[in-house]
Structure 1
Amino acid sequence: MKFVVDTHSHTISSGHAYSTVLENAAAAAEKGLQLLCVTDHASSMPGAPHFWHFANQRILPRFLHGVGILRGVEANIMNVAGEIDISTKVQGHLDWVLASFHEPVFAPSSSAVHTEALLNVIQSGRVDALGHLGNPNFDFDFERVLVAAAEANVLVEINNSSLSGSRMGSQPRCERIAEIGKEVGVSFTTGSDAHFAHDIGKFDSALALFEKVNIDEDSIVSTSASRFIEFLQSRGHASIAEFQSLR
């Protein structure tokens, strides 16, 4: 199994990452990736960029160092109502919206509160994927949320950084999320969650987890550029003419 899309990466614009878009794209090319999603933190995260950073992503070339560039965001789940901190106007310029819990924005609460927030963000129709769900600070009802994600065609991310120590305690939770996701028909994606170019396309821990749980390659959209593009179109995103030749 090989992953050719990194759907979660950060640049210096996130405020606590250390590489540029060009450096990340060069690293993606070295790793043999076909597509790279630029997903800096949305503005509610301390140190994150403002409105215009996301609105102006349309100036990014579609290819850098031979790697297709997708214009995206890692939005913050703001509250129990499932609101996210990217305006609908800006979202219209983006190819990809990942949404996650972050402690500085959403104070960890009970499993019931987290579950309600996740169900509401899924039902909002505004997000393409849920990021680093294995974080033990944000417990939730795995089955209810994963069934809802499968029904709404929202991806579940297996976050390599979480499995590599950035969110201690994530490993067993991610395994259980993958097991239940497999049972209920979830589709998955892989994110390096790189905050430095060296980690772009780093999926070793995610790969080991998928192999352990025996997740079918066809259930992971990041194993094929065309599969990922087809997923975006199934979510209602506009076709990207420059990517039509990718397989």
Structure 2
Amino acid sequence: MYQIIGDLHIHSIASGHAFSTVREIALVAQQKKLQYIGLAEHGPSMPGGPDPIYFEARGHFPKKIDNIEVFFGAEIDILDENSTLDLDGPSLKKIDYGIISFHPQVYRGEIRSDYTSILLKALENPYINIIAHLGNPRYPVDYPLVVKKAIECNKVIEINNSSFRVSRKGSLENCKMIAQEVKKQGGYIVVTSDAHYCDEVGDYQLSLDLLGSVDFPKEYIINASPAMFQSFMNSFLKIRGRVR
């Protein structure tokens, strides 16, 4: 039903707890006939994550490896109840796209914080483009409110395959509710692997099964067609004052 052409949530050894190089990742993407990959390394607050200088050095990052187009992103953590992010404005402008998320290794706020309000405020940042693993039961939010805000701010909601395979247990039913809410409100989804080893790149069958179970429309999945994907990536770059 769905054919996903690019994977925008991939971690290399630069993230400190992943196991493959960019070249190894691109090779697997080529074998799986992907057209695009996006390296979304963690920010400097994640243990083992790259220092800010990594994001300053984007000029050395390849735009293409063989026939695979490569995008330079980041998975940016929310640090506290003030919606502080672990990358600053200049770094956010240098990357091609920004994914926002909560992680227990990084979040410094109260355990029972108002995660909905924190996330709604963070979504107002123009350099944030994608909300990662929203269905994580550790960080409960009001899904209709977050989806509404995402649509208002032109953000994309991720369905993260790793949440169903490796981590964030209990996410499946939450993500099903999220997909139904996005469908109802007319928002957009991106399907990702959240790969930490090269063989996981392009692995999102569990996410596709979930979307199929709610009859989610293909035309609202941004990485299900080249035209849609390019349109969204161009919009992410335009916010940063450049094109590709």
- Report the TM range for the smaller structure's normalisation: over 0.9
Q: Which among 109, 112, 132 is matched to residue 111 of structure 2?
A: 109
Which amino acid in 1 is paired with 2:18?
Answer: A
Match of 2:51 in 1: 50
Which amino acid in 2 is paired with 1:194?
Answer: A
Quick one: distance in 1 between partners of 2:111 and 2:179? Answer: 23
Quick one: distance in 2 between partners of 1:109 and 1:233? Answer: 37
- Residue 189 of structure 2 is aligned to residue 193 of structure 1: no
Shift of 1:229: 2.2
Gaps of 5+ in 2: none
Match of 1:179 in 2: 180
Shift of 1:225: 2.9
- Residue 85 of structure 2 is aligned to residue 84 of structure 1: yes
TM-score (norm: length of structure 1): 0.93
- Deviation digits for residues 119-147 of structure 1, max 9, x if unmatched? 01111222000001111101011111111
SS in 2 for 1:136: coil
SS in 2 for 1:163: helix
Q: RMSD of the alignment, in Å?
A: 1.3
Shift of 1:226: 2.8
SS in 1 for 2:46: coil
Match of 2:134 in 1: 133
- Residue 74 of structure 2 is aligned to residue 73 of structure 1: yes
Quick one: distance in 2 between partners of 1:109 and 1:133? Answer: 17
SS in 2 for 1:45: coil
Match of 1:203 in 2: 204
Which amino acid in 2 is paired with 1:71?
Answer: F
- Residue 243 of structure 2 is aligned to residue 239 of structure 1: yes
Match of 1:244 in 2: none
Quick one: distance in 1 between partners of 2:59 and 2:179? Answer: 34
Would you say how many aligned residue pairs link Structure 1 and Structure 2? 239
CA contact (8 A) 1:58 1:93 kept: no
Gaps of 5+ in 1: 241-247
Which amino acid in 2 is paired with 1:183?
Answer: K
- Deviation digits for residues 18-67 of structure 1, max 9, x if unmatched? 00011001111111111100111100011101011111122122111311
TM-score (norm: length of structure 2): 0.94
CA contact (8 A) 1:18 1:195 kept: yes
After superposing on structure 2, the runs of 4+ consecutive aligned residues of structure 1 that deviate more than 4 Å are none
SS in 2 for 1:84: coil
Quick one: distance in 1 between partners of 2:124 and 2:67? Answer: 36
- Residue 120 of structure 2 is aligned to residue 119 of structure 1: yes
SS in 2 for 1:61: coil
CA contact (8 A) 1:80 1:120 kept: no
CA contact (8 A) 2:93 2:127 kept: no
Match of 2:96 in 1: 95
Query: Hey, which of these two has a bigger chunk of helix by percent?
Result: 1
SS in 2 for 1:86: coil
